[in-house]
């Protein structure tokens, strides 16, 4: 293990031996850093530009008093700690990978960008079954793609923990995994800026940190997977998003996304708290017994439930196409809360040719004083135990009960 200092005199390519010295401002020619070496850029580097021309590895990077340009034309893998120098410039389109330059990365990684905008890709990598903690000393702004790549270990419950500063994603985001890999910590992840990018996610890539959508332009497109919150808060402020899918599997997840339209939304575990209306262009599905908390209702094309579903009291659920329930008397849809005098409404409305159908349903409980309104001819099939029908305040006369 050695300490390598950047000095002038080489070609400017990281792999060139003449760019490096064993002392600050010392003689060059010591060879490029390797996976166990610490790298230092300082005032004696004389702002010499450096380019990552081929995949390179080192243990740590510290920069201070340096205001040159660093270009990522290939990946730089840093195992332990990384610090930019204030005032320097980052260019290139390749990747800075933190915590992954060997098969056993350090269990802790320190990151400080000192206000430098990272105009390249950034990945937080953990390829072992161990948890990795990333301490972020200041907010990180990334113009490329931010990724948490945990794809080489299947079946583990390892976590990448991000503590301290927040991460601002201007382009895309990905989190990949083969097993149950979690992203947690005290940092927030923001999606900002006017650029377009992609959001990708592997199966069981659980996010436990707050997500804030606040883009000022461009479009963020979900190309693979879904957003898997695991006891997280998801907030929408602004921006254009396409093909976004949410899948809640565990924990209590809070959604404040009234200005955003989800393509589909599924609840297969945990709990959902709605602080505003949830908009879904496709299907809202519920496969467990679940009580939706909060004050927001649901706007969706289809609502499908195979477990009991209690909707928020005082809210309105609008279903523009089809309500489908394969529940039983023990797993009803409850519109409103049995412990609240404030009731919820369910509105079935369809301007198309297909009738709204409630299939194989039992015990749709109006909970007293609740409105179930259909603006289309509605076929209520096999509701042989609709015990609370007499206390529904209004139901459209086009409905057909059988």
Sequential DSSP letters for 379-401: EE-S-TT-TTGGG-SB--TT-EE
**Could you tell me which residues come within 8 angstroms of residue 246 by beta carbon, excluding any fewer than 6 positions away?**
226, 227, 229, 234, 255, 262, 264, 265, 266
Contact 319, 337 (CB under 8 A): no
pTM of the model: 0.88
CA dist., res. 300 & res. 286, Å (int): 13
Give pLDDT, residue 224: 87
CA dist., res. 254 & res. 372, Å (int): 26
Give pLDDT, residue 346: 74
CA dist., res. 161 & res. 158, Å (int): 10
- Quick check: helix, strand or coil at residue 358? strand
CA dist., res. 359 & res. 314, Å (int): 26
CA dist., res. 357 & res. 55, Å (int): 58
390 backbone dihedrals φ, ψ, rounded to 5° = -65, -20
CA dist., res. 73 & res. 95, Å (int): 8
pLDDT along the chain (402 residues), means of 10: 92 94 95 94 96 95 97 94 96 89 62 96 76 90 88 59 94 75 89 94 84 96 90 96 91 95 93 95 91 91 84 82 68 61 65 46 53 54 43 43 38
Give pLDDT, residue 304: 86
Residue with tokens 């320190």: 110
What is the CB neighbour count within 10 angstroms for residue 220? Answer: 22
**Could you tell me which residues come within 8 angstroms of residue 158 by beta carbon, excluding any fewer than 6 positions away?**
126, 128, 129, 130, 131, 132, 150, 179, 181, 182
Closest listed residue to residue 235, CA positions, set 280, 191, 269, 298: 191
Residue with tokens 């948490």: 148
Contact 221, 195 (CB under 8 A): no
Give pLDDT, residue 387: 42
What is the CB neighbour count within 10 angstroms for residue 363? Answer: 20
What is the CB neighbour count within 10 angstroms for residue 228? Answer: 25
**DSSP letter at 259?**
T
Give pLDDT, residue 202: 77
Residue with tokens 């802790």: 108
Sort strands 20-21 and 3-6 into parallel, antiparallel or unpaired.
antiparallel
- Cβ-in-10-Å burial (0-12, 13-18, 19+) of 19 comes to buried
Contact 298, 277 (CB under 8 A): yes
Give pLDDT, residue 386: 44
- Quick check: helix, strand or coil at residue 19? helix
Contact 119, 144 (CB under 8 A): yes
19 backbone dihedrals φ, ψ, rounded to 5° = -85, -5
* 269-274 long-range Cβ contacts below 8 angstroms, 24+ apart: 270/230, 270/231, 272/248, 274/298, 274/312, 274/315
Give pLDDT, residue 352: 44
Give pLDDT tens digits for 288-317: 888 899 989 999 988 888 888 888 877 888
């Amino acid at each position: 293990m050695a300490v390598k200092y950047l000095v002038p005199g080489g070609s400017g390519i990281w792999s060139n031996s003449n760019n490096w010295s064993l002392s600050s401002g010392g003689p060059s020619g010591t060879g490029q850093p390797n996976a166990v070496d610490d790298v230092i850029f300082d005032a004696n580097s004389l702002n010499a530009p450096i380019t990552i021309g081929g995949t390179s590895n080192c243990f740590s990077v510290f920069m201070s008093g340096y205001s040159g340009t660093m270009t990522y034309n290939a990946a730089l893998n840093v195992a332990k700690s990384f610090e930019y120098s204030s005032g320097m410039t980052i260019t290139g389109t390749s990747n800075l990978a933190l915590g992954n330059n060997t098969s056993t990365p350090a269990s802790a990684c320190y990151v400080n960008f000192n206000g430098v905008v990272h105009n390249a890709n950034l990945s937080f990598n953990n390829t072992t079954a161990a948890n990795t903690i990333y301490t972020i000393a200041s907010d990180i702004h990334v113009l490329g793609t931010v990724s948490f790549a945990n794809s080489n270990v299947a079946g583990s419950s390892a976590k990448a923990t991000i503590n301290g500063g927040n991460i601002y994603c201007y382009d895309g985001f990905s989190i990949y995994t083969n097993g149950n890999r979690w992203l947690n910590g005290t940092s927030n992840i923001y999606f900002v800026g006017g650029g377009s990018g992609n959001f990708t996610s592997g199966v069981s890539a659980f996010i436990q940190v707050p997500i804030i959508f606040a883009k000022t332009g461009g479009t963020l497109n979900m190309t693979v997977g879904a957003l898997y919150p695991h006891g997280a808060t998801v907030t929408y402020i602004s921006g254009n998003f396409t093909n976004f899918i949410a899948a809640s599997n565990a924990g209590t997840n809070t959604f404040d996304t009234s200005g955003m339209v989800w393509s589909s939304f599924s609840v297969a575990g945990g709990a959902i708290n709605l602080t505003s209306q949830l908009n879904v262009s496709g299907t809202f599905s519920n496969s467990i017994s679940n009580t939706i908390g909060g004050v927001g209702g649901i706007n969706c094309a289809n609502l499908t439930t195979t477990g009991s579903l209690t909707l928020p009291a005082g809210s309105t659920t609008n279903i523009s196409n089809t309500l489908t329930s394969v529940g039983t008397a023990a797993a009803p849809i409850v519109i409103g809360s049995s412990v609240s005098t404030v009731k919820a409404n369910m509105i079935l409305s369809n301007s198309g040719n297909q009738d709204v159908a409630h299939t194989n349903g039992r015990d749709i409980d109006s909970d007293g004083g609740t409105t179930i309104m259909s603006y289309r001819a509605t076929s209520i099939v096999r509701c042989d135990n609709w015990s609370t029908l007499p206390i529904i305040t209004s139901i459209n006369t086009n409905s057909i009960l059988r």
